Structure 1
Amino acid sequence: MTNDTEAETASRAPAVERPSAEFELTKLRLKVFALAAENERLRNTISYQLGGALLRAKHWRGLIALPSEIGHLILESRRRRGRGAKDQASLDLEVRKALMHPETADVDALVAALNTQRMTPRRRAAVLAEVAALVRDADHDRWLTLLRAAIQADPSNSRGIAAAVDLMNAGAIEEPRQILSHIAKYRPLTQSGQIRSQVLDGLVRVRDRGLAVPPRKAAPVQKPAKARSLMYVAASSVPYHTSGYTSRTQALIKAVQGQGWDVNAVTRPGYPDDRNDIHHMPEGPVAAIDGVTYSRLPGPKSNTTPFDRYCADAAQSLYGHIIKTRPALVHAASNYLNAAPALIAARRAGLPFVYEVRGLWELTHAAKDPRFEHSERFEWQRQQESRVASEADLVVAISNGLKNELIERGVDERRIMIAPNCVDPDVFTPRKKDRALAKELFLGDSKVLGFLGSMTTYEGLIDLVTALSSLRRNGHDVCALLVGDGPALPEVREAARSLGVLDRLIMPGRVPHTDVMRWYSLMDIAVYPRRPSKVTELVPPLKPLEAMAMGLTVVASDVAAIAESVIDQESGFLFERGNPDALFRTLEGVMNQPKHARAVARRGRAHVKKLYTWDAAAKRLDDAYSALNA
């Protein structure tokens, strides 16, 4: 029977480290690769080929050919005895090194070793592609080098199409275009390859010639049905998607309608058929949601149609809707893919065009993958955003940071106004903790650090987990509630496990929009630890405003986009961005001064009610719209 001392020792013993799923997957891939390599090696041995010749000799044609085949194998055997053992040893060594330590693989040595073998180009390319796959996440440059070597080993292989897609996703334009063009010389491209090739050609056409935008007309082609009417073009909407983007669209349109404007809301032509993440798909081309009616317009799929052709077809669809509904102006929200066709349609109809810049998608992509900032597609997307903003009669930016960025890109400052993210304080109101949900989660008396939103790397959730660990070490009874999902979720969970706080982390995933208030009610402190990047400095999140409106204590990093609305010690608490220790100290200070924290939270709600309501934003838009129509 175990005594108390032994039990204590056992409880203190470190848990056995379990291999991660990624590690096990890598081991499995290596085993599969090793078996494939061994199969290839055996097929090339003299004994295997001799056995094949003898089997074929059972047929009279094989019997006639047998002496010739045996003679060929004798000569091949003599040739191999001269240098084959050395070459095979070299190949085995280089492949073994590449598989066991792909991050340090000598690509030139591996290619040289492969070239000494009687290996089909297809197999040689497969070896290189397999090693490339192993280093893809760890070493981007080495991955590209190996990928290019695989393509060079067998340019005609259909594997090159997959490589071209990988390069496209990494931000390249010219290189994947050349690869697909080269493959097409040897064999017809697959349907997927043809689509990729056409999309790349479209990017090059727009890059080299620019997008054709009609000049402004002196007057509309037809009289508007109402002076205070507009067509609002959104890239996505409820009920098909629920996100910060669609929430802003819904709330802003309702508020503009409240100012007496007749708003005809439409979604980007081809949407949502070109999305594979639809939450809900109602029947029919029209959806009425809480006082806002969205019309779905026909159009090509934006993700498989060359950009210039998509713009032409989508603009025609939008123009037809303008002729049918006769608005007085056109307002389109981010991004350029949504706004460019709307700009063209508005110009054809002789109507003022408003571009609402909610973010810059190339910067968002670069925040998730910093290498993208140095790619061809980053610059291409930057050019399209700048072009649409420069052509607009009015630009609506959601932050001062975005306004300044657009001015740097050449947009006339006099044509830019600010309409920040806002909330409805009558919807987001202080509420008592949902005791049933708290009991279900076994929260007890623990203080809850909360986050609600998309889990991306730049949200800084690993910094939050690090601060949670420090608070626990200092004796605080605290847990973290992270509501939402996203690509950073696995690494956040792994960080919590390595820091020993996985059992203090609650991650329910994405929750229904109707349940958001229940989850907010559990939070003692709402935490938004965004890390510094170009996009986080320019684009403000909506969630801190929701939390402030609910009377929650808000702790956030001092990135410029957040600091515009969260005033340190007045409406919330700010800490030095990218500094987990500063986050820990700020959280501990807030927890140690609950009376001060509650006072700041009350001022935070008052701050939101005064400056950040949709009605206030709609009033500013009302003035701007009226000036355009004057």
Structure 2
Amino acid sequence: MTVLVVTNDFPPRQGGIETFVRALCDELPDPVVFTSHTSADKSYDRTLDFPVIRDRTSMLLPTPRVTRRAVQLLHEYDADRVLFGAAAPLGLMGPALRQAGAQRIVALSHGHETWWASLPATRQALRRIGDSADAVTTVSAWCEQRIARALSPKATIERLTPGVDTARFFPGCGGDEVRERLGLRGPVVACVSRLIPRKGQDTLIRAWPRVLAAVPDAVLLLVGGGPDRHRLETLAKPLGDAVRFTGAVPWQDLPPYVDAADVFAMPTRTRRFGLEPEALGIVTLEAAATGKPVVVGDSGGTADTVRHGETGYLVDPYNPVATAVRLIELLTDPGRAQAFGRAGRAWVEAEWTWARSGAKLRGLLDV
């Protein structure tokens, strides 16, 4: 049974959704991907063992032309299952693909569908998407609560969480080499994420003077690139080398940077009057898999990624003092930090595997 995957979120673009969709493709027996064009996509696509068809545009939208192309690919590859990498807006093509012969349609939802559920016009569109799919999936309990109220009673909503590749993210996966290369001698708190306001790197910088007062040789390592870098560098300038910026790091090279930390921290927050939440935060689970205690901002579905007081802490992402208190606690109590790290690794190995996610998806698609 061939599955046509229709998505805007696919490598070589980097991001949590891209990682999610790409990994799910490996769990499907015979996927065909229809996605948008991006830089360096041809060389990436040559590394895959399934076909990827790129549209000429940099963003797929459910226009008549794109819908006709999706229908054509459904017939060309004799596909009878459809997976939308993001429910909104691509799921609006569901009725046309159903009419063209799709037997099962599953639409993945992430974070942005929650604001679709909040606004009148987009709420109606989301309802149509839910009615045309056999299942709409959500990545967290918080997302499910927000999206479910916009769907009609006949819609089916299921939890489908991402997994963690514990063969890539594990204790000792290269952190010593990163620390040596970057000259990191003292305790390290790392945040691995795009530099955007929602991820809360500025809260970490504002917390850092308090951390340094308790742990003078501590270093804050901000891993990633993004549009907020200049503002963050300006904010961190008075702290000198106590705050380090690595710039963008390729996805395949990220595990050693996580492993280089003593504590992982990402005080992510909800912005834009609730319309820009953190749906889950897979990088937090990757850090837990690497054996790191985590300090995470309480936003959207992030509570699903940490067992508060067991694998790490949830904090108020707008409160640098509260964030500093938790960081200091873990940096000055290595025994507790290591116990949290071991508990996090065991939890991810038991409940956050791609095999588990793949089995759930195959069941929803009936393949």
TM more than 0.5: yes
The alpha-carbon deviation at position 298 of structure 1 amounts to 4.4
Q: Matches of 2:343 and 2:276 in 1, distance apart?
A: 25
Tell me what 1:281 maps to: 41
What RMSD over aligned residues (CA atoms) do the two structures have, in Å?
2.6
1:442 pairs with one of 183, 186, 195: 183
User: Quick check: 1:530–1:578 contact (8 Å CA) kept in 2?
Assistant: no
Instruction: Work out whether 1:336 is the aligned partner of 2:88.
Output: yes
Q: Does 1:476 align with 2:189?
A: no
The aligned residue for residue 400 of structure 1 is 141
- Percent identical across equivalent pairs? 20
- In structure 2, the residue matched to 1:492 is 232
Partner of 2:315: 575
Deviations 1:208-248 (A, max 9, x none): xxxxxxxxxxxxxxxxxx4xx32121213223x23222211
Once residues 335 and 414 of structure 1 are traced to their aligned partners in structure 2, the CA distance between those partners, rounded to angstroms, is: 13
| Cα distance change on mapping 1:362 and 1:407 into 2, 3 Å | closer
Per-residue deviation at 1:565? 2.4
Q: 1:300 to 1:349 in 2, by over 3 A?
A: farther
CA distance in 1, matches of 2:179, 2:328: 22
Contact 1:360 1:385 in 2 (8 A): no
Choose which of 345, 355, 359 in structure 1 pairs with 2:107.
Answer: 355
Measured in 1, the distance between the counterparts of 2:278 and 2:226 equals: 21
Secondary structure of the equivalent of 2:137?
Answer: strand
Correspondence for 2:52 among 295, 302, 311: 295
Looking at secondary structure, tell me which structure has more strand per residue: 2
> What SS does the corresponding residue of 2:305 show, helix, strand or coil?
coil
- The CA distance in 2 between the partners of 1:351 and 1:402, in whole Å, is 26
Deviation string 1:123-154 (CA, Å, 9 cap, x unpaired) is: xxxxxxxxxxxxxxxxxxxxxxxxxxxxxxxx
Question: Given the alignment of the two structures, is residue 345 of structure 1 paired with residue 102 of structure 2, yes or no?
Answer: no
2 CA distance for matches of 1:537 and 1:300? 27
Q: 1:433 Cα deviation (Å)?
A: 5.2
Q: Which residue of 2 is the match for residue 529 of structure 1?
A: 267
Q: How far apart, in 2, do the equivalents of 1:236 and 1:486 lie?
A: 18
Point out where structure 2 has 5 or more consecutive residues left out of the alignment. none
- Give the residue type in structure 2 aligned to 1:322: L
- Sort the Cα spacing of 1:301 and 1:456 in 2 relative to 1 into closer, same or farther, 3 A: closer
- Give the corresponding residue for 2:342: 602
1:249 to 18, 21, 45: 21
TM-score (norm 1): 0.54
Cα 1:250–1:407 change in 2 (3 A) is: same
2:195–2:228: 8 Å Cα contact kept in structure 1?
yes
Aligned counterparts, 1:116-515, within 5 A: 226=1, 229-239=2-12, 241-255=13-27, 257=28, 261-267=29-35, 271-272=36-37, 278=39, 280-282=40-42, 287-291=45-49, 293-298=50-55, 311-360=63-112, 363=115, 380-412=121-153, 415-431=156-172, 434-444=175-185, 446-497=186-237, 500-515=238-253
Question: Could you state the TM-score of these two structures normalised by the residue count of structure 2?
Answer: 0.90
Letter in 2 for 1:324: E
Compared with structure 1, are the counterparts of its residues 605 and 320 closer, same or farther at alpha carbon in structure 2 (3 Å cutoff)? Answer: same
* Distance verdict in 2 for CA 1:568–1:265, change over 3 Å: same
Match of 1:29 in 2: none
2:359 aligned residue: 619
Could you say which residue in structure 2 is the equivalent of 1:551?
Answer: 291
**Is the CA contact (8 Å cut-off) linking 1:449 and 1:526 kept in structure 2?**
yes
Structure 1: gaps (5+ residues): 1-225, 365-372
Letter of the structure 2 residue corresponding to residue 510 of structure 1: A
Return the alpha-carbon distance in structure 2 between the equivalents of residues 565 and 441 of structure 1.
29
Change (3 A) 1:605 1:435: closer
Report the number of matched residues.
Answer: 364
Q: Which residue of 1 aligns with 2:301?
A: 561
Is the Cα contact below 8 Å between 2:88 and 2:129 reproduced in 1? yes
CA distance in 1, matches of 2:113, 2:84: 15
**How many Å apart are 1:549 and its aligned residue?**
0.7
My pick for the range that moved more, 555-564 or 333-342, is: 333-342
Letter in 1 for 2:15: S
Distance apart, 1:460 and its partner CA = 1.1
Distance 2:158 2:113 in 1: 20
CA contact under 8 A between 2:294 and 2:313: conserved in structure 1? yes
> By how many angstroms is 1:575 displaced?
2.0
1:493, distance to aligned residue in structure 2 (A): 1.4
Inter-partner Cα distance in structure 2 for 1:420 and 1:350: 24
Q: Please state how far the C-alpha of 1:318 moved relative to its aligned partner.
A: 0.9
Letter in 2 for 1:420: T
Could you say which structure has the greater relative contact order, defined with CA pairs below 8 angstroms and 6 or more residues apart? 2
CA contact (8 A) 1:493 1:502 kept: no
For 1:139-188, what per-residue CA distance to the aligned partner results, in whole angstroms no more than 9, with x for missing partners? Answer: xxxxxxxxxxxxxxxxxxxxxxxxxxxxxxxxxxxxxxxxxxxxxxxxxx
SS where residue 207 of structure 2 aligns? Answer: helix
Counterpart in the other structure of 2:255: 517
- Once residues 550 and 621 of structure 1 are traced to their aligned partners in structure 2, the CA distance between those partners, rounded to angstroms, is 26
Distance in 2 of aligned mates of 1:299 and 1:583: 45
8 Å CA contact 1:402–1:538 kept in 2: the answer is no
- In the aligned structure 2, how far is the partner of 1:490 from the partner of 1:300? 30
Shift of 1:379: 5.6
Alignment partner of 1:540 is 2:295: no
Higher helix share: 1
